[in-house]
Amino acid sequence: MKLVVQRVSNASVEVDNKIVGKIDEGLMVLVGFGANDTTAEADFLAKKLLKLRIFEDDEDRMNLSVLDISGEILLIPQFTLYGTTKKNRPSFHRALKPEKASKLFDYYCDKCAQSIHVERGVFGAHMNVSLLNNGPVTILLEKEYEQSEKE
């Protein structure tokens, strides 16, 4: 599972010329699932995302989480995070199949929403994403499926 986390002043996602998700200060997160990802990876990265300290405190140090600032999260499904570019045209064979990925995205959104306000994109839709990156601050988070954890 991969996340591209951006600290934002605001962000929104549009489908068919309608805004389907919009947040003010918080995190806009692209979410991708690998072929072997399960709820274990989603649980791990939900905790990590919510506790990630990338907002400044009173001393201008990145020391506060999205929870600490009472921020919001916009989650965008993004299977292309698992694209490989061995040749000029990307291949997505490492991405989780759409049916399973859709369910896992729903699970991840619900998991995060237990602790904070979450808006979301639409799985499988063509989306236009707008954001005002604050900083800019962009962090990559990843949790790969590990066979030893599953045995």
Q: What are the catalytic residues?
A: 78-80
**Looking at this protein, which amino acid is placed at residue 96?**
L
Classify the C-alpha dihedral 139-145-150-151 as positive or negative.
Answer: negative
CB-CB neighbours of 24 under 10 Å: 11
From the list 34, 42, 64, 25, the residue with the least C-alpha distance to 110 is 42
Q: What is the DSSP letter of 26?
A: E
